[in-house]
Structure 1
Amino acid sequence: MHLTHHAASFLRAATGAAVLSSLCTAAHAGQVTPGWTFSGFGTVGVVHSDEKGADFSASAMKADGAGRTGAWSRHVDSTLGAQLDFRFNPRWSAVVQVVSEQQLDHSYRPRVEWANIKYQATPELALRLGRIALPMFIAADYRKVGYAYPWARMPLEVYGVLPISNSDGADMTWHWEGEALRSTTQAFYGYTDMPLAGSTRLRGKAIAGLSHTVERGAFSARVSLLTTRITLTLFPELFQGLNAFGPQGRDIASRVATDDKRARTMGIGLSYDPGQWFVTGEAGRSKVKSYLGSTRSVYAGAGYRRGDFTPYAGYARVWGTPPEGVSTLPLAGLPRPQAVAGATLNAGVAALLRTVPSQSTLSAGLRWDVAPNMAFKLQHERVTPRSGSRGMLINAAPGFRSGRTAQVSSVLLDFVF
C-alpha cells in the first residue's frame, strides 16, 4: 500500500491489516513480546450542498446529509473509531475495532467493525476467525480512517455501491515473494446480519471471495471477487401491496425485492506512488437482480506532495442498470379504488428504481498535514446524477430532477492517536 508518509506510519501502527502484518514480521524475527496497544482515529467535518431536492451523504446507510435536510451537515463524514490490538505470542494475535458514525436511525451507536483472532501458521500463511474487513478495493482495510488517504472520502461511485464492509467468518492469507513482485492472496468466507433501523436489517449469507494483491516498488494492484446472497428488509409495505395485487404484482415484487438475491461484485485497483506524487484508480462491477440493480463504476485520482501540502483532483463515474422486466402495474379498466392503489404502488416502484445509481463526480481539493497525526482537508465536488437516477444522493424529494449538478464543499479534520 502506498499512501502519504503520515498515513503509512499510522497504518503500520494502528490499523488491523498493517498491524498484523508488522506483528507477523517482527514475530518471526523474535521481536514480539506479549502485550496490547490502543489506538484510534476520527474525522470532524462539515459539508455544504446546494441541492435542495436530496441529501449528499457518504453512505446510503446514513439517515441524512447536506442539501435537502439542511444546506450544511456535520453527519456526512464525522466518525470516531477505537482499536485494541493484542499480542499473545509470536503466532497468536487479535484485534477489535469499534466505529461510531451516523446510522439510519439517526444514532451514533458504536458498531463493532472488526473483531478477530489470527494464527500465523508459517511466515507466509495466516488464518483469521471472527469479524473481518472484506478485502474489496484498495482501501478495504482503512476506508473508515480518513487520515489514511488524501481525499475527503473514498469515491462513492466505487465504494458506495457495496453495502457490506465486513463479514463474520474466516479467511486465509498467503504472502509470497517472486523475483520482482511481492504478492498476497486472500480467500474468505462468512456472513453478515446488520441491524439498520427498527426492524430493517441487511443480511448477507455465504459471503465468499478471493483477493490478490501485487506490489513492485512504487506500484501496487489489487483484484477482488465476491459473491453472496443478500437480503435487505426495506420498504416492506410496498412489497406487501404488490404481492396483494395479483400475479402481476407478485411478479414485480419477486424481481425487484432484495430478498435472498445473488449478488456478485468484482473490482480492480491500481496505484503508483513514487513519493512526491501519486496516481491511483479503481474499477468495479456488481450485479444484483433486485432494486439494487447492476452497476459499473470507475474512478481515477492524482496528487502532488509539496511539504505538508497535497493538492489533488479526481473523477468518478457509476453507470446503473435497473432489473429487467415490466415494473408497472396495468391499471386500465380497474375500479377506481384499485386504480388509485395501483398508481401509488407504481409510483413507489418507480422511486425505488431511481435509487439504482448513475452519477459522475469531478473533485479537487487540498490536504494540509497541520501537525503530526492530524490533517486538514478542503474539497469541492461537482456531483451530477444521470439517466433519471438520483445517483448516490439520499432522501430525494418527489420533485427531484436528475441531471442537475450539485455543488458540494467539504471541510474536514482527520486525526489518529
Structure 2
Amino acid sequence: MLSKKTLAATLVATIAAASSAHADDSFSWRFSGFGTVGYTATNTNDMLLVNPGQLKGAQEGGTGLVDSRVGGQLDLTFTSSLSATAQAIAMQDAKGRFRPTVEWAFLRYKLSSDTTLRLGRLGWPAYLVSDYRYVGYANPWVRAPLEVYNLAAMDNYEGADISWSHNAGAGYLTLQALGGHASSPLPDTTETTARLKVNQLAGAYVTYEIGNLRLRGGASTGKVTYRSDNLGLLVDSLQMVGFDQYASTINADGARTTFMSLGGNYDDGKLLLTSEYAKLRSASDALGTASGWYGTAGYHFGKWMPYVTWAGYAKRDNSSNYAFPPYPPLMPLAQGVDGLVEGNSQHTASAGVRWDVYKNVAIKLQADHVQPSSHGGTFTDVVPGYDGHAVDVYSAVVDFLF
C-alpha cells in the first residue's frame, strides 16, 4: 500500500524530475483548482445527512461541513509518452475533521496512440461521474445522489490500470481494466481500526461517447475486510455462545464482494438527461446486497437550469436467516445482528436550480423530499424509535473553478 509519506515522496521526486526536464521542449505543467462552499439543513434532529465517509452531518441547525471542499490538481507532462497527475482535496473526513488528503497520485505512460498504462493512486471508475465527483461545478446536482453513491465507500485505490481507446462507428470507445487494493476509513469518533479494505481488487469498464451522449458501465470485484470494534465484538460474542455459522455469515474478513454499475448522460446544451444504476453484492451479510438508481432531467434557459431527480435505494432483508432462542440474555445479541442484516430502503424526490452567475462560478439551490424506511435509509445516527417519517433537506452551494 502506498502510505501518505510514500505518496508525498513520490510527488516531490516527480516535481524534481520535472524541474530537471524543464529544458526539454516537450515538458509542460498545469495547475487547476476547484471548490464548493455549501450549507445544508434538514427538518429533523432524528438523524444525520452525510456524504459517504463523513462523521458529522446536517440536522435542523444546518452545517457547512457536508458539501464544502477545496481541491487542486497538478498535471505534469515530461515527454509525449510520459506524464504524471496529483490531486489533493480538503473536505470533512471520517473523524469529522476538515483536512486535505491525496486523492490521486499516478504516472501515465502511453504505450501507443490508443493504449495508456497508469500506476499509483488512481480514482476508482465505478460511477458515471467518478472522474469529477467532487468537482461540484461539473455536476448538475448539489451532491451526487446518495441512493447510488452511498453504496460503496471507496473513491480510489492503489494499483494500475490499462485503457484502450479507439473510434467505434460514429462514436469513441474506451475499454479499461484495473487491479490493485484499497483502504478507506469508516466514520467513527474513537475507533482507530474502523476501516474498509479491499484486496485482490480487479475491474473492467467500458465508456462510449457519441455526440452528446456518454455511457459507462462495468464491474469490480475484490475480497473485502470490514473492521470495526463493534463488528468484531458481535462476531466474537456469536462464537462464544455457539452461533459459529451466524458469525461466519456476518463476518466481513476477506468476503468476496462485487459492485456493478451502468449509467448514461445526455446534454445538448439545452436538454440534460442523466441516469445511473448500481448494485453491491457481498458474501458477508454485514455488507449484504443492495442496489440504487436515479434519474435526473434538466433544461437550460440561458444561465439558468432547473432540474428534477427521482432516486431509490434498497438493501435486501436477510433477517429471516437468523433465529435466536427467546432467552432474555440473547436479546442484545439478536438486536445487534438485526441491526446489520435487516432490510433498508429510501426514495427521494428532488428539485433544484443552477445559476451560472459568472465564468467558472455556479450557484445551486436544491430541495430533497426523502422517504426512508424505519432503519433510516442512507442517513446515519438514527435515533431509537424513529418511525420512518419523511425528511426534507435544503441545500445551497457555490461551486467554482480556479
Aligned runs of 1:354-369 on 2, under 5 Å?
A: 354=342, 357-369=344-356
Q: Structure 1 counterpart of 2:364, which letter?
A: K
% same residue: 34
The offset of 1:116, in angstroms, is 0.5
Give unpaired runs (5+ residues) of structure 2: 1-24
Matched, 1:33 2:26: yes
Deviations 1:315-340 (A, max 9, x none): 111121044653353243xxxxxx33
Give per-residue Cα distances to partners, 1:280-328, cap 9 Å, x unaligned: 1111121013222111221100111112111100111112104465335
Which of 267, 277, 288 in structure 2 is aligned with 1:273?
267
Aligned partner of 2:196 among 196, 202, 205 = 202
Aligned to 2:394: 409
Tell me which amino acid in the other structure corresponds to 2:278. G
Residues 251, 51 of structure 1: alpha-carbon distance in 2 compared, 3 angstrom cutoff? farther
Secondary structure in structure 2 of the residue aligned to 1:63: coil
Query: In 1, distance between residues paired with 2:318 and 2:223?
Result: 16
Matches within 5 A, 1:310-329: 310-323=305-318, 326-329=321-324
Q: How does 1:283-362 map to 2 (within 5 A)?
A: 283-289=277-283, 290-323=285-318, 326-332=321-327, 339-340=328-329, 342-354=330-342, 357-362=344-349
Distance 1:231 1:323 in 2: 20
Match of 1:390 among 373, 376, 380: 376
Q: Which amino acid aligns with 1:416?
A: L
Cα distance in structure 1, aligned partners of 2:51 and 2:352 = 17
Match of 1:211 among 184, 201, 205: 205
Question: Which residue is 2:239 aligned to?
Answer: 243
Q: Note the aligned Cα RMSD (angstroms).
A: 1.8
Q: Is contact 2:319–2:338 with CA below 8 Å preserved after alignment?
A: no
Q: Distance in 2 between the 1:215 and 1:225 partners?
A: 19
Contact 2:289 2:316 in 1 (8 A): yes
* Structure 1 residue 111 corresponds to structure 2 residue 101: yes
SS where residue 202 of structure 1 aligns?
A: strand
Aligned to 1:379: 366
| Matched residue SS, 2:203 | strand
Residues 1:94 and 2:87 aligned together: no
Residue of 51, 55, 62 corresponding to 2:44: 51
In 2: Cα distance, 1:95 partner to 1:46 partner:
31
Quick check: 1:230 aligned with 2:215?
Answer: no
For 1:258, the equivalent position in structure 2 comes to 252
Measured after TM superposition, the shift of residue 191 of structure 1 is 0.2
Displacement of 1:51: 2.6
The total of aligned residue pairs comes to 372
After TM superposition, the score normalised by the length of structure 1 is 0.85
Aligned to 1:24: none
SS at match of 1:254: helix
Deviation at 1:264, TM superposition (A): 0.7
Q: Which amino acid aligns with 1:385?
A: P
Gaps of 5+ in 1: 1-31, 333-338
CA contact (8 A) 1:292 1:322 kept: no
Q: Secondary structure at the match of 1:135?
A: coil
> Conserved in 1, the CA contact under 8 Å of 2:300 and 2:306?
yes
**Amino acid corresponding to residue 63 of structure 1 in structure 2:** L
In 2, are the aligned partners of 1:256 and 1:323 still within 8 Å (CA)? no
CA distance in 2, matches of 1:178, 1:77: 38
Report the CA distance between 1:135 and its aligned residue. Answer: 1.2
Tell me the TM-score normalized by structure 2.
Answer: 0.88
1:65 aligns with 2:53: no
Distance in 2 of aligned mates of 1:51 and 1:346? 29
Matching of residues 94-243 of structure 1 within 5 Å: 94-196=84-186, 198-234=192-228, 235=230, 236-243=232-239
